Chain A
Amino acid sequence: MSLKEILRDRETWQGIIIILSLSLVLGAVSQVGLIKRFLQGEFKQAFFSRQEYPGLVFISLPEVEELWHNQQAAILDSRPSSEFRRGHIPGAISVPLDEVKSGNYGLLQTIPAGQPLIIYCEGGDCLTSLNLARLLHDRGFRDLRIFSGGWEEWTAAGLPVEKTEEDAQ
């Protein structure tokens, strides 16, 4: 059969319409709970379940600034170490997600316990902060706060930045 014949065949299209409609119905019925939660705005910032990650929240720049100013939280930078060296939030600890994922779990031991953890990456659509937060959550860390505005928003607000010495020289 040629493509032309197949595309001209009414049965081809009937079949496709039936398959698609069935999928729509099954998808909507099977995920009705999730769709409801989506419509209620639960997944506005990221696609993860709050029930699954109760110790994980998103915070905005003013909150980060206040915690940073009063030194009430440890700040983790999930970007690659080269970017961290070029500039980061003063006092932040470099925990590059790519290095942790490739097996360098020793990095997690540098994270101070007993205080809130603020995690950030580049900003915009960056995902490493969320993924690092998930990884930490799975390893028992709690009170994780994701600063989704990230490095972009921090620098745009003209807040102080710090560079590692070798690059600063």
Chain B
Amino acid sequence: MRLALAIGTFLILAIHGVVFYNQFSHRWERNQVAYFDQARSLAKSEAERTSLADRKPRIEQIVVTSFGETRVDRCTTCHIASDDPRFVNHAQPLRTHPYSPALGDLEKNGKWERRHKFSEFGCTVCHDGQGRGLSPEYSHGQDHYWPDPLLGYATQAGWRKDFLPMLKGKAYLEANCAQCHTEPGFRGTPTVERGRQLFFATNCYGCHKIEGLSDGTIGPDLSEVGRMWKVDYLWARIADPKSVLATSIMPKFNLKEDEIRALVVFLKSRKGKNFTETEIQRFKVKTAGGAELVQATLRPVVIKPGEMVAQGGKLIEDRACTACHKLGGRDGGIAPDLSFQGLLKDESWIFAHFKNPRSTVPDSIMPAFRFTDDEFKAMTSSLVSQKSVPPLGSPAATYQALCQRCHGEKGDGHGLIAEHLDPYPRDLTNAGFMNSKPFARLVDSIRNGVPGTSMPAWGRILDEAKAKELLDHIQKTFVKDPRKEPPVRQVDDKNVVAMSKESMDRGAGIFVARCAGCHGKKADGKGANALDILPRPRNLRNGWFVNYASDRRLAESILYGVQGTAMPPWIDYGLSRNDVGDLINYIRGINPKPKGDQNAGAK
């Protein structure tokens, strides 16, 4: 009993001793003692030696107030020789911070003078890391919860292993240089500058907004991305977008390692307000129009009249069109195949689509890029020259070559790029819908396309016989039910109600009462119920489509419903022919007639 007590008390003493040792013996103290010893042996005068003898280890800190919030940098507690030029060739932590003309340091009579004095700038302004930390793990920001690990030096345990080697290097420090040296083309930050060029050259600006640089709206705003994310995340987001977020629609760009690094460094330097900006400058940046700035940054290519096609092809390749589209062996898997665009669309359509994609396909997600008209013209002529039809053998092969990308292998409308199209590709296994439309109309949709949607006119590739063969194949393989011709309904070919303000007002009233639940108050197909419905309610603000659909078709769809969809037969719910006439007038009235011809490619 007494023996156990005695052993117990000694155990407690031992634990106490270990805790005591851990708490009061610091690695930085040993570093400082080592520094004093070495400095004493290097000392040239007796005075120097005695002054060193007086010094005891203590926490050294630099308090920096001129860069944002107050920083307390205790880095020099371990890196105590960082400003002692005699320690150039020593090992870390007792090593002189390198002198370099690139940092603005000056050499005078063999002695260097720093441009960025540590007493003024501290350490974390340039290097990041946790200034107050006193152990390597914490001060270098290696614990998972520290947002700013030492740039280009420290990595964290949770980072993807295959990216670790790429996330090291001095280039990353430029992101912090750029917090003060903001001027584009600053000599000390070539990687930031390269990233800035790439941001425009690879069309990042089309989707992303950065205050004062671009105004894309499809992707997230990147104005403060460097403050919010660590370099590993930025790298993963660019190198492999889906690895971070499975639902990301960002394309995987065909970038080399050094290009990704430049982009990461550039994005890391986007931290919102930088150190040299005043509030009024910040306000100006925030309110500046992105479009003009993009125009000013892009370097337009001079197009020679004789080489339009070749130069346009090069532009299409250089500007990463294949990050989304399919062309010449590359496939981004997001947007339509351009390999035979010349057979589907004509020059004016392609040019208009380039200038403003939504002018031709109102719900397109394609960004409006800011190239010059000459460049667009060259790219257009290059696309018009794309006429390589894949070999069309059996109808099954034709389906695979032309239709599968959108309508899907199983014909269910879930093709590779379907989720990026609006309206969604038609579900060809929906027998109710397929058998409710006359055969002639299905042939027409294939040969002449559906204006305002992503369905192109295949007329130049598929003649009438081929289109019919294809439809037979679809009927057998996907629809499965035998073909039934729908009954011919008693519907007027022309709207019975004349177009007038009063008719439109009546139509608007009926629309709000009966249609807005699914088609939305704005008639844009985004009503409260829209998300529960597949196929989605038609966007009735799609001028191309509304203009293409005949009065007869609209009236029939409203009165007798659309089989296989959620559109009910309104004749059963008390809508008269005159009510439907008012509705048609309302729908036509809110859609100005678009200029041009969507199906020109087919003719």
A binds B: no
